A and B are shown apart, each in its own frame.
Chain A
Amino acid sequence: MPETPGTLKTPYPKEQMHRIAYTKLSEQQISDKLSKVGGPSSASPLADVFAGKSVKIVTDKGPTLAYTFRKNNSLSVGENGGSTVDAGYGALTLSNVAFFSHMIPGTQRGYAVAIDQNTSLATVFELWFSGYEDKREVQREIYYGYVDQPGQEPPKNRHVATNRLEGKGFYWKQDTGAETLEFYPSAAYSNFVELSRFGGELGFCGPSDYIKINEDLYVYTRTECEFSGTFTAYAMDLNRIEQIGVRLGFDANDALEYYVFRGKGEWLGQLAQFEKFGDESGMPVPAAAEGQTPAKGARRVYRPLKTMAKMTPAQVDAVCAKHTSAFAPRAISPGANAPTASMAGNLGPSTNWLAGKSFTLRYDHAPAMEYRFDDAENLQWRKEGRDWTKARYQAFESSPGVILFGHLLEGEPNHDGHCIVADFHQGLMTCFNGYLNTPYFANEAGVKIHFGVIDMEELIPPKYRRHEFTYDMIGRAVSQNYAPGLTSMHLYTTPHSLSWIIFTNSDAGGLEWSGPAAYVKIRDGLYFMYWLEEACNGTLGTILVNLHTMRDVGIGYNCGENGLNMNALGAHERLAGQFDIRRFYQVKSAGGIV
């Protein structure tokens, strides 16, 4: 225990990133904050690689930047032959790459530049605030070019957007002390777990750029859209596992973060790529719709919180009263966002094994549920001692003796739905109990997890053994083909979250998002897991993953403006690799003993 009161401290934030109500900073507030900062800070000594030199960077479709670097932290820059301005800057070097960043004083703009000193090729990121309705979100435009060498022909090659980083994952520790796990399962997005800043409970996603300097050196960017809007860019050496980069944005307390950093890391593994062999192209998600010219800085950003329905408890009660359905054919189940026909294209056949049977599910820490199964689609349930209630259900036998079934609980105040895996060979069961009227948005599903046993004639359940949470799946990536044209990949990023990646038409990883999750081991190779689409449609998705058959079957539970829906989903799966990350989620003693 701490010696003095008030020193209790955990690694966790008061709110996780997707729940923080980041201030909608005004343009004036941003200008005021930027005016107080000269150049980026740095925990490591700044490089003097440019000090005393003049450098002219020519870009193909962007600015020409004429720099005079006076010292290792001050420069003057002229854009496109215009008058020069003085600015503070910070530079770091890694291998043959020099990376520097500066703002343009009096503006909300700045630059981050990576120069390959061997080839004189340069990648220039123009950065600016107030370019989107959420003005704190950093915008970026990428220009490829070179350092002008007087008397020499400009080089013909350029740095290039690439998918060569796709599938990689790293542990990074910056010189600031910040530790992260960063995964690149997409060629357009990335996934990051803030180990030190947020305690490593959940992974989050952001749009990303991947640029190839050469086979060993790459540049990566990430913008924390939908969150703080902070921009991170770094050059990395894949062999040395070192990085140099910049972080620019406003934190949860609206303080400006602007620093260059150096970091070291560990290689965590490589996931499979699904593009055709030979396809190394980057930026697989077009910045603008077909036939439209992208605006400066344009990129596709998934903004689920902006588009999801946000309902009050009264509104939830009203829509549930108007339309509630379970396992209805899609024609009579118009609920938006509920996994319905699209995710049921590869759903396996349901089973009638439960028809005519009766049993009680005895939860360890919740009221027992009694069941009578009238037929293959209709059951009656009651909490012990109460009246029977009819419900529609569907059941799927994923593995011999293991049945997944689900139903809604009509009459429950929070419109509960149960998704249950019952192992009749072991007498064990796990229930993901979905419910509504959750704290942030009433239509957003929450989940309670119940472990217990099956009380059934002639079936003797264990006294102590239960299904258990597992780390078995952590770090794995599994692709799911739900239907022609609808393929995603799960990346099980932390014991409490997963992310999903949507493939483009060229089978590159495209948009990506994440949510809280949990993993329960049913048998070897058979895992029951859920994810919550928090701040993103509000769905509770559950799947029973069978790594032997490489199929999953699941049940989705969603409430939206069109009502409450429960539906089945199913996919063909492929293993896509695994990151070695379980060790990062072990709770360690503060005294240093693991």
Chain B
Amino acid sequence: MSKESKSTRRSFLKNGAVLAAPLVAATPATVLADDGLRTRLARLEDEAAIRELHQNWLRHINSGSRDAEERLFANPNAAEFEEGIRSVALDHSGEPDAIELTSDGKSARGCFHCALEIETAIPQDCTLAQMAHAQGGGFVRRAERRILRAQYVRSDGVWSIAKIGFGNA
């Protein structure tokens, strides 16, 4: 994924070189440049749409709006993932985000380095734990660095999440 991220940057430079070509090339090169521009534009638009989808997902996850979060999925039943995750934040010390589109532009994969806040409930097996739960606590929170891997699908021109999961960083 990180390779892809770097290659994306290189491809931008490559496209940039193509865009610069009309200054020195004949008409066929301009046609080529237009096709490349459209492809590039479509790709950027797809990437932007997926990033926006990802941001919406983050917002819903962090605000606890699970119903809204489920609506971002192609199949709301697939919105389940590891229990206890209370917040997901960008891990600024991790590698850059990467979004990789398939060649047909109908699906994509995303890879995001994250800092998770994970909550584990304390078993209510004693009076103290019961009282902790009774006052709205009774859980332990810990921070973990993970890699969020997401799969996206496009249907009727709209991107949605197909699957999401967390792997070890």
Contact = CB atoms under 8 A, between A and B. Distances in A.
B136 A342 contact: no
A560 B57 CA distance: 44
B122 to A, nearest CB: 5
Contacts of A302: 131, 134
A445 to B, nearest CB: 12
Nearest to A558: B126
B117 to A, nearest CB: 12
A342 B126 contact: yes
Given A337-B125, A342-B129, A510 B135 contact: yes
Contacts of A486: 122, 128-129, 132
A219 interface: no
A341 interface: yes
Given A484-B140, A485-B140, A188 B126 contact: no
B136 A300 contact: yes
Contacts of A101: none
A536 interface: yes
B166 interface: no
B136 A290 contact: yes
A343 interface: yes
Interface in B124-148: 124-132, 134-141
B105 interface: no
A485 B125 contact: no
Given A291-B64, A484-B140, A339 B126 contact: yes
A342 B123 contact: yes
Interface in A339-389: 339-343
Nearest to A291: B64
Given A484-B140, A485-B140, A343 B135 contact: no
Contacts of B132: 485-486, 502, 510
Given A488-B128, A502-B128, A285 B136 contact: yes
Interface string A284-297: 01100111000000
Given A291-B64, A511-B131, A337 B126 contact: yes
A304 B127 CA distance: 9
Interface residues of B, number: 20
B128 A343 contact: yes
A533 B127 contact: yes
A255 to B, nearest CB: 32
A561 to B, nearest CB: 13
A513 B131 contact: yes
Contacts of A37: none
A342 B122 contact: yes
Contact of B126 (A340, A485, A510, A513): A340
A536 B127 contact: yes
A500 interface: yes
Contacts of A340: 125-126
A238 interface: no
Nearest to A339: B126
A513 B135 CA distance: 13
Interface in B93-130: 122-130
A226 to B, nearest CB: 13
A485 B122 CA distance: 8
B3 to A, nearest CB: 38
Interface in A545-592: 556
A500 B128 CA distance: 9
Contacts of B131: 302, 502, 510-511, 513
Contacts of A330: 125
A333 B122 CA distance: 16
A504 interface: yes
A539 interface: yes
B125 to A, nearest CB: 5
B123 A341 contact: yes
A181 B64 CA distance: 44
Contacts of B64: 290-291
Interface in A109-142: none
A343 B134 contact: no
Nearest to B139: A485
Contacts of A482: 128
B134 A485 contact: no
A504 B126 CA distance: 17
Q: Which one of B64, B136, B138 has the highest number of Cβ atoms from chain A below 10 Å of its Cβ?
A: B136
Interface in A279-330: 285-286, 289-291, 300, 302, 304, 307, 330
A330 B126 CA distance: 12
A502 B134 CA distance: 10
Contacts of B124: 336
B126 to A, nearest CB: 5
A331 to B, nearest CB: 11
B40 to A, nearest CB: 44
A285 B135 CA distance: 6
Nearest to A533: B127
Contacts of B128: 342-343, 482, 486, 488, 500, 502
A312 to B, nearest CB: 22
A483 interface: yes
A533 B127 CA distance: 9
Nearest to B138: A485
Contact of A300 (B122, B127, B135): B135
A505 interface: yes
A504 B123 contact: no
Nearest to A488: B128
A504 B128 CA distance: 12
A497 interface: no
A64 interface: no
Contacts of A307: 130
Interface in A482-536: 482-486, 488, 500, 502, 504-505, 510-511, 513, 533, 536
A556 B126 contact: yes
Interface string A133-170: 00000000000000000000000000000000000000
A337 B127 contact: yes
A537 B124 CA distance: 12
13 contacts: A285-B135, A335-B125, A340-B125, A340-B126, A486-B122, A486-B129, A486-B132, A488-B128, A502-B132, A510-B131, A536-B127, A537-B130, A539-B126
Given A300-B136, A338-B126, 18 more contacts: A285-B136, A300-B134, A335-B125, A337-B126, A339-B126, A340-B126, A484-B140, A485-B137, A485-B140, A486-B129, A486-B132, A500-B127, A502-B132, A504-B136, A510-B132, A513-B127, A513-B131, A537-B127
Interface of A: 188, 285-286, 289-291, 300, 302, 304, 307, 330, 335-343, 482-486, 488, 500, 502, 504-505, 510-511, 513, 533, 536-537, 539, 556
Pairs of residues from A and B, 10 with the lowest C-beta to C-beta distance, nearest first: A485-B140, A510-B135, A502-B131, A285-B135, A339-B126, A484-B140, A511-B131, A342-B129, A511-B135, A340-B125
